Structure 1
Amino acid sequence: MPTLFTRIIDGQIPGRFVWADDRAVVLLTIAPITDGHALVVPRDEVEQLTDAPDDLLAHLVQVAKAVGRAQRAAWDAPRAALLVAGFEVPHLHLHVLPAWDESSLSFDQARHDVPAAELDAAAERLRDALRAAGHGDHVPTDVTSPAL
């Protein structure tokens, strides 16, 4: 059975995509710890970090770095944080988020009541920052689909 992320990537469930390439997608989470909190997800179903082939993991981290730089620029954040937990969905995903302090690293701070319009605005802000950083070729033109 496909994972939640595979269903989002396949368009069966909506997502707010900000990046797409042949190996990974990036979408905003619906429960952000900070504004702009994104998930880097491999297109292939890999259950967890330790199961990922080294080349895929290296690619995901490179994408996370680009997204983190864009987040720092878009939200004027002193840091970009990278978290890997994966307990909620058995499909590897890297949490990348603008961070100001240690509380930015706690899932206890996740907001579950963010209005859709606010999530949409954060996604567009991150897309704009990715384009400004020279990654426009990876920003999907159809933001509801990770097609290349």
Structure 2
Amino acid sequence: MSTLFTKIIKGEIPSYKVAENSQFLAFLDIRPNAKGHTLCIPKKEVDKVWDLDAEVYQELMRFSRCVAIALEEIVPCKRVGMAVVGLEVPHVHVHLIPLNKMSDMDFSNNVEMSEEEFKELAAKIASRVDL
């Protein structure tokens, strides 16, 4: 059975994409800890980050770095934090979260954004991602 993220990759569920290549996809989290909270995922469905082969893991980190640099240019923040938790969806995903304070990494906090805000922010970040 496909994960939620595989359905996003296939276009069965809409998303606010910010970057994509043949192996990876980045899109805004719909329950963001902070404005700009982005998920970077491999297109191949793998449950745990440590189950990725070393080359794919390194490429995922490179892809995530490119997205994080764009995020930092677009979203006012002190830095972009990264977390790999993996309990919510059984598909490897890297959380990139614009941080101004430590509590921005608290996954029980969510900010509200309108659909228009999501679309506008995704487009701005996408315009800066240099893969």
Structure 2 unmatched ranges of 5 or more? none
Give deviations 1:123-144, integer Å, cap 9, x for gaps: 11211222xxxx2xx5xxxxxx
Query: What percent identity do the matched residue pairs reach?
Result: 29
Give deviations 1:104-137, integer Å, cap 9, x for gaps: 11101123x422111112111211222xxxx2xx
Give 2:25's aligned residue: 25
Which amino acid in the other structure matches residue 51 of structure 2?
Answer: D
Counterpart secondary structure, 2:91: coil
Give deviations 1:38-86, integer Å, cap 9, x for gaps: 1001000010112111111111111111111111111232211101111
Give 2:63's aligned residue: 63
- Give the number of aligned pairs: 131
Give 2:14's aligned residue: 14
- Rounded Cα–Cα distance in structure 2 between residues aligned with 1:70 and 1:78: 14
Give 2:42's aligned residue: 42
Structure 1 outlier segments of 4+, above 2 Å = none
Counterpart secondary structure, 2:19: strand
- Rounded Cα–Cα distance in structure 1 between residues aligned with 2:128 and 2:103: 24
Counterpart secondary structure, 2:58: helix
Which amino acid in the other structure matches residue 97 of structure 1?
Answer: I
Counterpart secondary structure, 2:69: helix
Counterpart secondary structure, 2:127: helix
Normalised by the length of structure 1, the TM-score is 0.83
Which amino acid in the other structure matches residue 74 of structure 1?
Answer: I
RMSD between superposed Cα atoms in Å:
1.2
Which amino acid in the other structure matches residue 113 of structure 2?
Answer: V
Asked whether the 8 Å contact 1:71–1:77 carries over to 2, the reply is no
